[in-house]
Amino acid sequence: MDIAHNFKIKTSTDKVYEALTTQKGIMGWWSKDCDITQKVGEESHMRFNKDGKIVEMQFRVDTLQPGEKVSWSCVGNPNPTWIGTELRFDMEQQGDEVNFSFTHGNFDDKWAGQPPFEMTKEGWDHFMNSLKNYCEKGEGQPW
């Protein structure tokens, strides 16, 4: 079971790659409080303030292909639906736009229609818009 988003971003693959792989980039569209690594095999940490409680997520960096692909595996998250899932970001330059594809995959089917999975889908709707805004306008809506 996967969550997928495909859209165009009016920017370069360099800008999208920076948004996905750097501290400044992640803070611009996803997590205002994070520690981001740029080394395959190491873990990045994102923290979110949810109703006064800090929620921390950990992701192992699996793939870094500049201008093409980034992938992470979720190795820590209080939301049990995320553990063992993969986040994959693919990009391809086409003229002055980037064809962008995001997949958050490998969810266990038992979570279909359940609140933790539905909350995840809604969250990615927000953050994919935030990523697009950050890459195109320089300002996203991170939490």
Query: Residue 35 pLDDT > 90, yes or no?
Result: yes
Mean local confidence (pLDDT), 72-94: 96
What's at 21, amino acid-wise? T
Q: Mean of the pLDDT values across residues 29-45?
A: 98
Q: What is the pTM of this model?
A: 0.96
Domain chopping of the chain, boundaries: 6-137
pLDDT, residue 124, reads 98
What average pLDDT does this structure show over 137-141?
A: 97
**What average pLDDT does the segment 84-107 reach?**
98
pLDDT at residue 62 in the model: 98
**Beta strand segments in 51-85, E:** 53-65, 69-76
- Supply the pLDDT for residue 37: 97
DSSP-assigned letter for residue 5: E
Say how many CA atoms lie within 13 Å of 40 toward its Cβ. Answer: 8
Residue-level pLDDT at 50:
85
**Closest C-alpha among 78, 34, 74 to residue 55:** 78
Q: What's the CA gap between 110 and 128, in Å, rounded?
A: 25
Asked whether 3 and 103 are in contact (CB, 8 A), the reply is yes
Q: Which CATH superfamily is domain 6-137 in?
A: START domain (3.30.530.20)
12 token code pair: 């370069």
Mean pLDDT on 53-64: 97
Q: Which of 63, 89, 65, 84 is nearest to 73 (CA)?
A: 84
